[in-house]
Amino acid sequence: MTSVPRLSFSHVGIFVTDIARMEDFYTRVLGFTVTDRGDLETARGRLQFVFLSRDPREHHQVVLASGRPADLPFNPINQISFRMADFAGVREMYRRLQHEPVTEISPVSHGNALSVYFRDPEGNRLELFVDTPWYVKQPLRVPMDMQLSDRELWAWAEAEARRQPGFKPVEEWRSALSRQMEQR
C-alpha cells in the first residue's frame, strides 16, 4: 500500500445569504481582513466572493460566497473552529459576543481545549478555543463557568480533565499519535 501524500488544512468556504452582514461580522467581531473580493460565474450562477484572513501568509482562511438559500431546513456545517493565541483572547471574545447578534453562546471544556461556541448571524456554529496541556478521550463537553477567575477556571479544568478516561499529558498523546501516523 502506498502512503498518502502529505497535506494540511488551509481554509474553509461557506455559502451565505447576506454577504455584507457576514463580512461585517467576520471583520468587525472576529478581526479578519478582506484580502480580495469579486464575482465569478459558476454552475450555480453568478456568485459574489469575499476572501478573509488573519494571517499575512495566507491569502484566505475563510471565503464567504453568496448563494445560500434563505430557507435551508438544515445547516450542514457542524462547526468552524478558530484557535486563539491565549485564554485572555477567548475571555475577551466571550465578553464581546454578549453584545453581538449571535445565539447559543456556550463556554465549555473538552479537557484538551477550553472553548466558547456560538452561532454567527446566519446560524453557522463557530468555536473559539485554546488548547490545554492535557489529553482526554473525546468527545467531551463540560459546561464552563466564565465567572471564575483565570486561576480558578484552569484549576477546575485540570481537575475535571483528570477525572476523565485516558487523561495524560498532551505531549505523551502526541508522541503516540506521531508514531501511529509514521506507520501509515
Look up the CATH number of the domain holding residue 152. Answer: 3.10.180
Same domain as 160, residue 99: yes
Cell 473538552 -> residue: 110
Give the pLDDT confidence of 99-158 residue by residue, as tens digits. 999 999 999 999 999 999 999 999 999 999 999 999 999 999 999 999 999 999 999 999
Which phi and psi (to 5°) does residue 48 adopt? -100, 145
Q: Total structural domains in the chain?
A: 2
For residue 53, count other CB atoms closer than 10 A to its CB: 18
Q: Where are the beta strands (DSSP E) in the chain?
A: 12-16, 33-42, 45-53, 62-66, 80-83, 103-109, 113-119, 125-131, 134-135, 142-143, 168-169
In a domain, 1, yes or no: no
Q: What is the extent of the structural domain holding 92?
A: 79-184
In a domain, 136, yes or no: yes
pTM above 0.75, yes or no: yes
Same domain as 95, residue 18: no
